[in-house]
Amino acid sequence: MVFIAPTADVSPDAEFGEGTKIWHLAQVREGVVIGVNGIIGRGAYIGSQVRLGDNCKVQNYALVYEPAAIGDGVFIGPAVVFTNDTHPRAVEPDGTQKSASDWTPVGVTVRDGASIGARAVCVAPVTIGRWALVAAGSVVTQDVPDFALVAGVPARRIRWVGRAGVPLEQKDGVWVCPKTGEEYVEDGDILREADK
């Protein structure tokens, strides 16, 4: 069953997987596809043609502009913004107003399991890697590797995190999750699961 709050503005052209919930004042545009068990919070905006995988949470007042592509199990925190214009202007150099046909939107890509903290801004085009964690209030201007914890303005990697989102601890040449015991191997600026 899909739940859509009576006050949500949802295009009849949008598609939803079983168990999806769209809350009060959210706007979901035409061509959006949301997988199973999606949650779109109060006042969130999902731009046209955006794709969200299964089990995604988009928290209150987040703005996910097209053509964003969101993997499975992604968390997008309150008031997060995904931009889509690399050279934004309201007018042309001669002062005439720009229209939608005067620019080409670019998107933010978020891979499976990643989390974007509250009020972070992701400046397209960037890719947030699998199981990465963007700290609240960060401004992401470069791609984020898998399992990276990034923070700041502009965001920089400050730690590695595992699938549980907990900072990893280095032991005997491998990185270990203190919550799950999973092990990870670092190779330069890349982290991967030890058994893969």
How do strand 63-64 and strand 127-128 relate by DSSP bridges? unpaired
Kindly tell me the sign of the dihedral angle through the C-alpha atoms of 94, 99, 104, 109. Answer: positive
Please tell me which residue in 1, 12, 87, 95 is annotated as part of the active site: 87
How open is the CA angle 77-126-56, to the nearest 5 degrees?
35
Can 87 be counted among the known catalytic residues?
Answer: yes
Kindly tell me the sign of the dihedral angle through the C-alpha atoms of 3, 121, 51, 132. Answer: negative
C-beta of residue 162 within 8 angstroms of C-beta of residue 179? yes
Active-site positions read: 87
